[in-house]
Amino acid sequence: MSLKKKNILVVDDDYNTLDLIQRHLKPFSYHIYKASSVNEAVEVLEYTSIDLLITDLNMPEINGLELIKYSKEHYPLLPKLVITGMPTINNAVEAVRSGALDYLTKPFTGNELFQAIETSFLKGEKNPAASKTTEEMHYAGMIGSSDHFKNLIEVINRVKNNKVNVLIEGESGTGKELIAKAIHYTGALAKKPFISVNCGGIPESLMESELFGYTKGAFTGAKESKIGLFQAASGGTIFLDEIGNAPLSIQTRLLRVLQEKEIMRVGAVDTEKIDVRILSATNSDLYKMVLNGTFREDLYYRINVVNIKTKPLRDRKEDIIPLVKSFIEKYTVEYNKHNIKLNEEVHEILSRYSWPGNVRELENIVQRMIIMSDDIIDMQHIPENLKYHLPEKKEQFKSLKEYEKDHILKILATVGNNKTKAAKILQIDRKTLNQKIT
Ligand SMILES: Nc1ncnc2c1ncn2[C@@H]1O[C@H](COP(=O)(O)OP(=O)(O)OP(=O)(O)O)[C@@H](O)[C@H]1O
Ligand SMILES: [Mg+2]
C-alpha cells in the first residue's frame, strides 16, 4: 500500500450529498474532488489522477451506470464504488456487472463510508486486472504491459511460423515496423532475408524495376540484368511499408504476384516463381481507400489475411510507464548518465499526455529529457508543449437537449440564419426554435 494521499472523485447531482460526503471524509487523509454530473466527472478523470471513483446511480441526463461503464473502459484499474438512495437488486447487480466493486446505500454513516472506501482500495489492489497490467512484457524489442500489448504478442506468435500475409494498421509511431520485424525475426523464417520497402518512397517510374528487377537492355541504362526486392526476399519476408501509397499500376502488379506466386522482371518475357511472405503496413484507412476506389479491393483481401491493428498510445496508457522505464535505461546507458531518476510529477505528466506521435514521440521526449538533465528529471525538463497541451477530448457525453441545440444551430447555419426557413425544415414554429436555442 502506498502512503501517498489518495484522490477520490465523488459524483452526485445533489450538492448536499457531496458536502455530506466531504464532511464524513474530513478526518481521513483523502483529497476529495467533487462533480455534480457525469460530464464534469469525465473532465476530472481526464485531467486528474484519481484513485477511487464514488458515484451516485440516479442522476438526471446521464446516470451513474454510464459513468461506471465509461470508466471501466477508459480507466480499467480505477476502483469504483456506487452509492444510491434506491437500492434494488437489479441496479446493484447491474452496477457490479458494469465494473463497480462495491455498493453502498444511502443513508450511511461516516464510518460505513470509510469502510467501503478502504475495502474498495483493497479490492482494487487485488483486482486481477491490476496485477495483470503491472506485469511488464518484453518481446523482440517491444515493451508493454497492456492487454492490447499481450494480444499483439499472441497474434505475432500465431502468425510467425506460417507464411500468412499480414496487414498491420495503425497510427504513425505505434510500432508497426517493430511488429513486422518481430514476426520475421522470432519466426520460422528468421534466418531468411527480411526486406523492407517503403512504398511511398520510390518514384512510380522506378517502382516496378525496384520490386521485380529488370533484364539487360530493358531500358536505357540497364547494362546488366538485376533482381528486384521480391527476389532478394526469396524464402523470407518482404515488408511493404506504407502500402496505401502504392500507385494503382503497382497494385495491379502486386496482385499478380500474390495470385500467381510469380514475378516478371521489366523487359523479360518469362515469369519466375517466387516464394515470400508479405507483411504490409499502413497508417491510412485502407478499407476507406477501397471504398473510394484508390486501393484495389482484391489486393486488399489478399494482403489482409490476418489483420493487426495497433492502438494509439493514449488508448493503452498502461504501456507508458514501462516504455518510459525502458527508454530511460536505454538512453542513460547511451549517454553514460546512470543515476538519472524521474520525479513523480513528471511521471504523471507523461502518463496523462495524449501522445499524438505515439511511442516514437515518447521515446524522443525521454531521450531529450535525459540529455537535458543530470540527476533528477523534473518539471523544468518537460517540454512546454507537454505541460500545456490539453489531453485530447475523449467522447463527450451530451444531453439530448444539447444535441438538439447543436442540430438546430447547424440547420440555421446552412440556411444563412433564416429562422423561418430553419423552423420549417425542423417542423417546429419559430417561437419554439427561439426557445430551444437560448
Ligand atoms: N512496444 C514498443 N516497445 C518499444 N519501442 C517501441 C514500441 N512500439 C514502438 N516503439 C518505438 O517507436 C518508434 C516507432 O515505431 P515504428 O517505426 O515501428 O512505428 P510505425 O507504426 O511503423 O510508425 P510509422 O507509421 O510512422 O512508420 C521506433 O523507434 C520503435 O522502436
Ligand atoms: Mg513505420
The response to whether residue 178 sits with its C-beta less than 6 Å from ligand 1 reads: yes
Asked if the structure places residue 395 within a domain, the reply is no
Mean pLDDT for the stretch of residues 189-211 = 93
pLDDT of 390 reads 44
pLDDT band at 417 (very low <50, low <70, confident <90, very high): confident
pLDDT digits (tens, 9 = 90+) for 333-353: 889 888 888 888 888 889 888
Task: Tell whether 323 and 379 lie within a shared domain.
Answer: yes
**Is residue 174 in contact with ligand 1, taking CB distance under 6 Å?**
yes
Check which CATH number belongs to the domain holding 22 and give it: 3.40.50.2300
Backbone phi, psi, residue 56, to 5°: -75, 155
Q: Is the dihedral of CA 243, 249, 255, 256 positive or negative?
A: negative
Is the per-residue pLDDT at 133 higher than 60? no
Res 233 pLDDT > 50: yes
pLDDT bucket at 87, cuts 50 / 70 / 90: low
pLDDT of 212 over the 50 cut? yes
Peptide bond into 107 cis (omega under 30): yes
Cα–Cα dist 407/139, whole Å: 49
How far away, in angstroms, is 222 Cα from ligand 2 center? 31
Residues 234 and 336 grouped into a single domain? no
Q: Is residue 89 part of a domain?
A: yes
- Nearest residue (by CA) to ligand 1, atom 25, is 172
Tell me, yes or no, whether 425 lies in a domain.
yes
Q: What average pLDDT does range 166-177 have in this prediction?
A: 97
Ligand closest to Cα of 282 equals: 1
**Proximal ligand: closest to the CA of 136:** 1
Residue 173 Cα to ligand 2 midpoint, Å, equals: 7
Kindly state if the Cβ of 243 falls inside 6 Å of ligand 1.
Answer: no
In this structure, the answer to whether residues 93 and 118 fall within a common structural domain is yes
| Amino acid (one-letter) located at 123 | K
Whether pLDDT at 424 is above 70 = yes
pLDDT at 130 over 60: no
Pocket perturbation via mutation, ligand 1, pick of 311, 360, 366, 367 by most ligand atoms within 8 A of CB: 360
State whether 208 and 334 are in the same domain.
Answer: no
* Over residues 135-147, mean pLDDT: 87
Domain boundary among 277, 310, 343: 310
- pLDDT bracket for residue 324 (50, 70, 90): very high
Higher pLDDT, 241 or 82: 241
Shared domain check, 262 and 153: yes
**CATH number of the domain residue 404 falls in:** 1.10.10
Average pLDDT over residues 77-86: 82
Q: Is residue 348 part of a domain?
A: yes
139 found inside a domain: no
Cell of 420: 423561418
Torsion angle of alpha carbons 58, 62, 65, 66, nearest 10°? 180
In a domain, 151, yes or no: yes
Choose the final residue of a domain: 246, 279, 310. 310
Give tens-digit pLDDT for 5-17.
788 999 999 999 9
Contact 315, 361 (CB under 8 A): no
Q: Assess whether 378 and 432 both reside in one domain.
A: no
- Kindly give the distance from the C-alpha atom of residue 129 to the centroid of ligand 1, in angstroms, as a whole number: 26
Kindly state whether residues 159 and 61 are assigned to the same domain.
no
At residue 339, the pLDDT reads 81
Average pLDDT over residues 377-391: 75
1 is a domain residue? no
pLDDT of residue 391: 47
The count of structural domains within the chain is: 4
Helix 430-437 with 400-414: angle, nearest 10 deg: 120
Calculate how far, in angstroms, residue 44's C-alpha sits from the geometric centre of ligand 1. 31
267 and 162 belong to one structural domain: yes
Distance (angstroms) between ligand 1 centre and the Cα of 434 equals: 52
Indicate whether 343 belongs to any domain: yes
Which CATH number is 320's domain given?
1.10.8.60
Among 310, 335, 354, the domain-final residue is 310
pLDDT tens for each residue of 279-295: 999 999 999 999 999 99
Q: Is residue 23 located within the same domain as residue 171? A: no
Instruction: Answer yes or no: do 84 and 232 share one domain.
Output: no
pLDDT value of residue 400: 81
Of 187, 191, 196, 133, the C-alpha closest to 164 is 187
pLDDT at 395 over 80: no
The C-alpha atoms of residue 362 and residue 327 are separated, in whole angstroms, by 9
Position 94 scores a pLDDT of 73
Domain extent at residue 329: 315-388
pLDDT of residue 131: 43
Average pLDDT, the chain: 87
Of residues 198 and 141, which shows the higher confidence score?
198
Q: Please tell me whether residues 90 and 193 are part of one structural domain.
A: no
Q: Say which DSSP state 188 is in.
A: T
Check pLDDT > 60 for residue 254: yes
Band (pLDDT 50/70/90 cuts) for residue 234 is: very high
For residue 392, what is the DSSP state?
P
Check whether residue 226 and residue 276 sit in a common domain: yes
Looking from the CA of residue 170, the nearest atom of ligand 1 is 21
